[in-house]
Amino acid sequence: MAGPRSRTRAQITERMREATLLDSETSTAYAAARLRANLKKGLSRRIAALGERVPILNPGQRAELHVKLTHAGFRDQRAISTMVGIKLVAGTAAGFSALALAPAIPRFGDYLVIRLLALAGAFVLGLIVPEYALGALVRRRQKKILACLPDALDLLVICTNAGNSLPVSIKRVAYELRAICPPLADELSVTADELHVGSNSATALRNLAARVDVPSVQALVTTLIQSQEYGTPISQALRTLSRAERNDQMTALEEKAAKLATKITLPMMLFILPTVAVIAGGPAVIRLMSVFTSQ
């Protein structure tokens, strides 16, 4: 009987040791993740403070930048200051890099004027590049929202047919789309919160259209507002809108497929045709070379 008991105690001890090691690894990973989050937050805070201290944009430019940041999903109060700080850091880094690499310019790198021009040009370029990156983020986010919008409309039709109110339906759709399309789920969640707070439903829906800035979402907002104003059934309108969105996506895919033949012509001429010519004419060229060399 001592043998099984000793094996059982050994197994229990081994499991306790494994559990202790697992807990220690989990705590270490959690501490590392928390440290990375703190470092990221501290860096963002310093960049935002730099953007607040160095106002390089006028109020109109700041308002335009605020709209772009909202379209990209950045709604924090210090988002504008953070973006300005990023522009300054990028410009400064690009300027010093150009100043360090300017002596490598042949024949002109030793002149001070050329170095200063390279510094100024790289600084301006560093200020512009973050805005292009922000525009790319906006376009990418809008594409994701457009791709998942028909599914969101179908889910909204199901929720409204089940008897849920519009805020509850939007909240439910946002919850279901959180793993599939986080940008659209985030925007719908914000809209549902605004509706639950008690603000005007038309204002909350127009805020959704302004934040996303996509024609399909604007059509959805218009449909919902008109349905609430005139008392028309929402389900039928949403079903029609979903069908129209899917038809538009199919039309866009067909247009891309039709343009593919034209776009592939240049790669074929540059990469495929020379290879085919080498494969087809290579043996003949080799035989001719052997004939002339033998003579």
Helix (H, G, I), strand (E, B) or coil at 130: helix
Q: Is this model's pTM higher than 0.75 or not?
A: no
Backbone angles phi, psi at 144, to 5 degrees: -65, -40
**Where do the structural domains in the chain lie, given as residue ranges?**
38-140, 142-250
Which residue type, as a one-letter code, is found at position 59? P
CA angle 144, 147, 148 (to 5 degrees): 90
* Rounded distance between C-alpha atoms, residue 82 and residue 56, angstroms: 13
User: CA 175 to CA 194: how far, in whole Å?
Assistant: 16
Distance from the Cα of residue 193 to its chain's centroid:
23
Q: What separation in angstroms does the CA of 222 have from each of 212, 217, 230?
A: 14, 9, 12
40-74 pLDDT, tens digit per residue, is 667 777 777 777 777 777 778 888 888 888 888 88
Distances (CA, A) of 101 to 51, 107, 115, 132, 269: 27, 14, 9, 24, 38
Q: Residue 1 above 50 pLDDT?
A: no
Q: Looking at residue 272, what DSSP letter applies?
A: I
Helix (H), strand (E) counts: the chain: 11, 0
Q: What is the pLDDT of residues 180-217, one digit of tens each?
A: 889 999 999 999 888 888 767 888 888 888 888 888 88
